Every structure is written in structure tokens, then in C-alpha cells.
Structure 1
Amino acid sequence: MARMLVIAASSGIGGATSQILREAGHEVVGTSRGGDGDVTLDATDFDAVEQAVGEHGPFDGIACFAGSLLLKPAHLTTRDEYDATVAASLTTSFATIRAAGKHMRTGGSVVLVSSAAVMAGLANHDAIAAAKAGVIGLVRSAAATYAPRGLRVNAVAPGLVETSLTEQLTASETARAASEAMHALGRLGRPEDVAAAVAFLLDPAHDWITGQVLGVDGGLSSVRPRQRA
């Protein structure tokens, strides 16, 4: 049994990951910003993240699901919106790596979340794509930095997953059909789809995987299927 920290465990994918990990017999400590997790945490706060990892560990694995969604072209994005988007997705990821680097001295696994939008080049994702691309760079550099001590760093890059964060994107049948058609497998993702991949990367049994970004996106980032009749 491993001990895992799930940052933003109250999110759709974070909650699904926590459930999968517990069902596999792992001990899970979950954080939330709103106080409905085991630990209340603002994941943009470097010192708070470090304190949470230090006080509630030691941990064998950490997954960070903090993030936000902003769909706007760059010229319509305010500075406050940009800063908030970067803070939610990239700053939280960096804070997680920083805390893991300080406290996971004997190895383990960190899993972050990027996005298929980085790989596919989707219109009106400018700020979020910039932040999530930063996550990929962070994963690869940190994987190299901490490999000598056996600390693995990987990420998942989901397509459109049905959560409370994305429900506005599928509010109408037309919008939903258009989003489904962008995914080669013809459906939107479920939190459990991504959670299963995160659990795989966290599992100590898979300790020869590091520096990887696993697309869990129904083919969105790499596959262009024929149009369905």
C-alpha cells in the first residue's frame, strides 16, 4: 500500500482518482481550496503546498489537479484573466514539484495535468494552452532533475472531459455534437478515463516511466478520423 496526496481532490478528475487509488488499497490524503477535503490548501501558495507535503507525508505519490478553463483569444484576454489562468495551472504544478523535491527524498511519483489543446492547437485556448505547455516543459525538466533519486515526474493531457468545469462547453446539443466529433473515438471523456491513467503513473509498480506526457483524449490531439455517415 502506498500513501498518496491528491491536490484538488474535490475536482471531477481528482475525486475519481482518489476513489480509484483507495479501491486499489492505497491511503489517500485529499486537499481542496474550499475546505471539503482532508486538508484545506491554496495550491498556488508555495509555502502552503510545501507545508502540506511535509506535515501530512511522507508520500509515495502526488497528483495535482488544480486548474481552470479560459476560452478566449489572446486579444480579448485581460491581464487578470491571464495571471489567474497561469496561476491555476502552471504555478500550482510548479509548487507541487517544488514541495516534492524538498520532501520526497527517496523517490516516488508526481503526476501533473496538461491538456490535449497544447498538442492539437485549438482556437481560443491561448492562455490555457500557454499555461499547460509550461506544464509539459516542467515535467520534462523536473524528470531529469530528480531522476537520480528515483523521483518520477509525468503528466496526463486530457481531451474534453465531462466535469463541472467543462459543462458550459456542452450545454447545447449542437455544441456537444461538435465537441464529440473532434474526438476520434466519438465521445467525450469521463473523469474515470483520466483517473485510471493517473493511477497507473502513480503506481510504484510502474517505476520505469518518467518525463512522459500521456494523451488521454479520445484521439483529439493526434487522430483525424473519417467523418461519420
Structure 2
Amino acid sequence: MANYLLIAASSDIGGATARRLRDGGHHVITTARDASVIDPDVVLDATDFDAVDRVVAEAGDLDGIAVFAGSMLLKPAHLISRAQYDETIAASLTTSFAVVRAAGKHLRNGGSVVLSSSAVALAGLSNHDAIAAAKAGVIGLALSAAASYASHGLRVNAVAPGLVQTRLTEGLTSSDMSRKVSEAMHPLGRLGEPEDIARAVEFLLDPANDWITGQVLGVDGGLGALRPRQRV
């Protein structure tokens, strides 16, 4: 049995991951910013470096930490206020940095950190400017941290999902027209489900896969890397 900490587990992907890990017999500690969606083990503002540090320290001997924090802001840069920008960066990048910082201090016997990036950090998509900036930062963080902590056996990887059907993305998937447009952007012709990403996170957390670090796993239906011929 492994011991895992899931940050921002109130997200649909975080919830799916928690269920998979618990079904596998593992001990899972969940955090959320508030208890309005789930009943987390710990209420945590994961942008607070000191609070994250305390939670990781008090969690005991962890085998891995996964971060699911993020936001949805679909606007071009010139329509984004400084407050909106700061919130978007904080939700994804600051949270990820706080977790890596704490893991580097406390997971001295190795383990796995899995961060959440996005396919939009790898493929230029209009009106994703702030999200792409934040999620590209997460990729850079994962690569650098993987190098920094490799000598301690601490692995750092990231998942980069495409568009996943969650509460956060309902605005893009609720109408037939927007859904069809979104599906057409993914070469495999469908949107993701939370379980698709949860399986990838579970794989990267697993101590059996301890020769994998510094990787960005695109779980995106091909969105981030492929440009196939259009269906006719």
C-alpha cells in the first residue's frame, strides 16, 4: 500500500484519481480550497507556500503527490485584466511550485510528483493566452525540478490533457455546436473523460514506474502534437 497526497482533489480529475487509488488499496489524503464540493481531509489554499509545506510535512512518509489545480479563462491577452492573469497563474503555476518546493524539502527518500499542465501549452490555440502561459510554466517547472531532485530519487512528471468533460469545461461542452467543434480539434475524435487522465496520473505515481522522470505525458486525443488530415 502506498501513501499519496492529492492537491485540489475537488476537481473531477482529482476525484477520479482518488477513487482509483483507494480502489487499489492505497492510502489517499485529499485537499481542497473549501469543502463545498467534497469533504477533503485538509482544507488548503495551495498557493500558500507555508500551508503546503505544513500539509506535506504532516502527511508522513509519502510515496507521491499529485496536483490538479487549474482554471478556465478563455480570452485573448488584451481582454485579460491583471487580476485575472494573477489568478490564472496562481491556480496552476504557483500551486505547482509550492508543491514541488515542499516535496523537495520533505520527500528526501524519493517518490513521485505529478503536475497538471495542458495540451494548450504545446499547441497554439486562440484565446488560451493566460492558461497557456501558466501551463507552459508548469512544464518548465517539471523538467527543471526533475533534474534538481533526481539525485534524491524524487521523480517529477506532468500530464498534459486535452479538453476533458468536467464541471470546469461545461461552457465548452454543453451545446452540441461547441462540443462538435471541440471534438473535431482532437485527432481521435472525442473529448476526454476524467478517468482518462486519472489512469495516467496513477501510472506516473506508481513506484513500479520509478525510471520515469522529467516527462510530459500528453493525454489529449492527439491535440498537442498531431495535425491529421481533416475528416470528410
TM exceeding 0.5? yes
Number of the residue aligned with 1:226? 229
Structure 1 position 132 matched with structure 2 position 135: yes
- Partner residue of 1:149 out of 152, 167, 183: 152
Number of the residue aligned with 1:8? 8
Deviation per CA, 1:155-205, whole angstroms, max 9, x where unpaired? 000000000000011121110000000001111000000000000000000
Amino acid in the other structure paired with 2:152: R
Deviation per CA, 1:86-128, whole angstroms, max 9, x where unpaired? 0000000000000101110100000000000011110010011
Structure 1 position 29 matched with structure 2 position 18: no
* 3-state DSSP of counterpart to 1:143: helix
The whole-number CA distance in structure 2 between the counterparts of 1:106 and 1:26 is 19
Structure 1 position 100 matched with structure 2 position 106: no
Give the drift of 1:82.
0.2
- CA-based RMSD of the aligned residues comes to 0.8
Amino acid in the other structure paired with 1:118: A
- Mapping 1:180-199, distance limit 5 Å: 180-199=183-202
The whole-number CA distance in structure 1 between the counterparts of 2:208 and 2:59 is 23
The whole-number CA distance in structure 1 between the counterparts of 2:61 and 2:40 is 18
The whole-number CA distance in structure 1 between the counterparts of 2:92 and 2:179 is 25
* 3-state DSSP of counterpart to 2:113: strand
Give the drift of 1:2.
0.6
* 3-state DSSP of counterpart to 1:95: helix
* 3-state DSSP of counterpart to 1:120: coil
Deviation per CA, 1:37-95, whole angstroms, max 9, x where unpaired? 11110000000100001112221100010111111100000000000000000000000
* 3-state DSSP of counterpart to 2:222: coil
- Partner residue of 1:83 out of 86, 91, 97: 86
TM-score by length of 1: 0.98
Structure 1 position 159 matched with structure 2 position 162: yes
Give the drift of 1:17.
0.5
* 3-state DSSP of counterpart to 2:164: coil
TM-score by length of 2: 0.97
The whole-number CA distance in structure 2 between the counterparts of 1:14 and 1:32 is 10
Give the drift of 1:10.
1.2
Give the total of aligned pairs: 229
Q: Percent identity?
A: 72
Number of the residue aligned with 2:175? 172
The whole-number CA distance in structure 1 between the counterparts of 2:108 and 2:224 is 35
Structure 1 stretch 26-35 or stretch 78-87: which is displaced more?
Answer: 26-35
Amino acid in the other structure paired with 2:175: S
* 3-state DSSP of counterpart to 2:122: helix
Give the drift of 1:226.
2.7
